Structure 1
């Protein structure tokens, strides 16, 4: 019996010692690891510093305003911005609380809040319409809301594999972040704040490059920011709560009438692992893809002046792969030039 008690006592001390070592390592990581540096600049908008990257000169073409997706950021739009900035003014930014942007800590954020904040940001920077809005994924609904509030400032919209207001009603996936994943995000936020996640990835895991075609510098910045602060995970959860309201508000926006509209649709919506999981759950992944294509067509038909381009790409690689982004940019520039000719 004494031997058992001694063994348990030793195990208990060992566990406590390991926990102290892990916490100490995390604190050292937080104190001494280099902090990620914003690649753009911070602009104060009503007391909140918003991260924005403004590139290119204002020419004959309208200024392009880029909206990233829900779990995305300005870096994910790297190749699209790179390909457009030599021909016109390009603005990309991180929404309130995302990535390098501060959070306004507003507990009652409306779907219109982000559009209003973006509009205030553009005014603060001295940017002038007309604008072409380019939205990837959930950036599409955000763009629709902006245009609904400021119709006289928008001369065209580009949807890049954009979300649809009814996607959670019609697809098997019913929310942005499933409950199990949300729990992991909560744990991830704590581990990042303590520096433990950073230590694990720097010393133990040493993850290989998985940038889907983005430059390694961009990928490393993304990893660094994620491992240095739990804010990234908390924003994922915050967006998850807002997504339904944003989609519903976008669905109530005014008709686009004959507004120039360009819709890019990716062919590959599900990885093989997700297809296999769907099949086990009795869901037909091919039917899901067809539903997505139906909704993409509906987006194109929002305007009598809409055009749809189907691309052999995934939801992310349509912008992160340089060849795909080059193809997207070529069409966007033609789109912008046609708008410029009419003015």
Structure 2
């Protein structure tokens, strides 16, 4: 009887502690959001389909290098350091997709076609010079297909950075396909975002070096703005991949395919050597297949990089961009 009474008291105490922690987290999150609302955008805002979208523009003159981010709540911040170091003799343009960082969500569906249309309107309204060179990382690389299909006459070149391959079921076993496409835990992350845990989880999203100090200060502060839209993109991922797989040619548009080459990049989270070998082999085949998108294509291996080449070896992306600019301006 006494044991049951003590267990009940301990249970009540634990419940009170949990409630106190959640209340503290919720208050912390609300205060942090209030402070974040006072942070001024580092770029400009432009009206697109009755909502404002944020972009960061550097340099002058054409062509315009347009950066498309991965499935990532950091938006344009993933390209920030690269933009700072590229020449100012041509225009570079990074942006936040609707609902990410400083871009308002708007009402358009999160489809590949609508994302391309919004980007095109943003480019038109911001009056950057044509033609465009599209640089897309991972999910962003897959999204470039929709832009090229809809506005082929405005695209002068494409640089894919360890791009996602939409028909990955062709190269993955059913078990591995399920593993790599399982996605983020939506319910948990929404809960964590409400009670302040998410900003702690993403506090070191970028390398802890001086080069990324700006991104590391902004990312956790503004995460709450990006979380819902990022998860919404995940909800639409399957249908976007299905539609992207149907777009299998860029014609003769020059294409560079930058591929991660670090053979140890999965070691930290995949222990089974057989699975590691399978995914490395499959990714290599998918990256080589991307070369078939254009009759004028070249692969570049980033030997020391994992998936985030823009952090591991940003100089390789910068060199590819410079080479692409030279290639299309020499015509």
The Cα of 1:169 is off from its aligned counterpart by 3.8
The runs of 5 or more residues in structure 1 that have no matched partner are none
Matching of residues 239-278 of structure 1 within 5 Å: 239-253=233-247, 255-268=249-262, 270-277=265-272
Alpha-carbon deviation of 1:318?
1.3
Aligned to 1:291: 282
State the partner residue of 2:42.
39
Q: Judging changes above 3 Å, is the alpha-carbon distance between structure 1 residues 257 and 20 closer, same or farther for their aligned structure 2 residues?
A: closer
Q: Which residue of 1 aligns with 2:104?
A: 102
Q: Could you tell me how far apart the structure 2 residues matched to 1:305 and 1:152 are?
A: 16
The answer as to 2:152 corresponding to 1:148 is no
Structure 1 residues 289 and 23: alpha-carbon distance in aligned structure 2, compared to 1, 3 A threshold? closer
* 1:23 and 1:196 in contact (8 A); partners too: no
By how many angstroms is 1:341 displaced? Answer: 1.5
Does the C-alpha gap of structure 1 residues 222 and 285 become closer, same or farther in structure 2, counting only changes over 3 Å?
same
Compared CA separation, residues 85 and 239, structure 1 to 2 (3 A): farther
Structure 1, 233-242 or 74-83: larger mean CA deviation? 233-242
Distance 2:55 2:206 in 1: 25
Quote how far apart the aligned CAs of 1:66 are. 0.6
Q: Is the 8 A contact 1:161 1:266 kept in 2?
A: yes
Contact 2:142–2:244 at 8 Å: present in 1 too?
A: yes
**Distance of 1:128 and 1:209 partners within structure 2:** 33
Q: How many residues get paired? A: 322
What is the TM-score normalised by the length of structure 1?
A: 0.83
- 2:207 alignment partner in structure 1: 211
Within-5 A mapping of 1:303-322: 303-321=294-312
Q: 1:275 and 1:212, CA in 2 relative to 1: closer, same or farther beyond 3 A?
A: farther
3-state SS, counterpart of residue 274 of structure 1: coil
- Partner residue, 1:124: 125
1:63-82 paired onto structure 2 within 5 Å: 63-71=64-72, 73-82=75-84
Instruction: State the Cα deviation string for residues 40-63 of structure 1 (Å, max 9, x = none).
Output: 3332311222221112212xx410
| Native 8 Å contact 1:177 1:237 kept in 2 | no
Question: Residue in 1 aligned with 2:88?
Answer: 86
Coordinate RMSD, CA, aligned: 2.7
Q: Distance in 1 between matches of 2:179 and 2:233?
A: 8
* Deviation of the 1:136 alpha carbon: 0.8
CA 1:208–1:155: 2 relative to 1, 3 Å: closer
Aligned position for 2:191: 190
Structure 2 Cα separation of the partners of residues 197 and 310 of structure 1: 34
Matches of 2:202 and 2:88 in 1, distance apart? 36
SS at match of 1:132: strand
Question: Structure 1 residues 275 and 176 mapped into 2: Cα distance closer, same or farther (>3 Å)?
Answer: closer
Measure how far apart 1:207 and its partner are: 6.4
Aligned match of 1:54: 57
3-state SS, counterpart of residue 157 of structure 1: strand
Residues 1:152 and 1:160: Cα distance change in structure 2 (over 3 Å): same
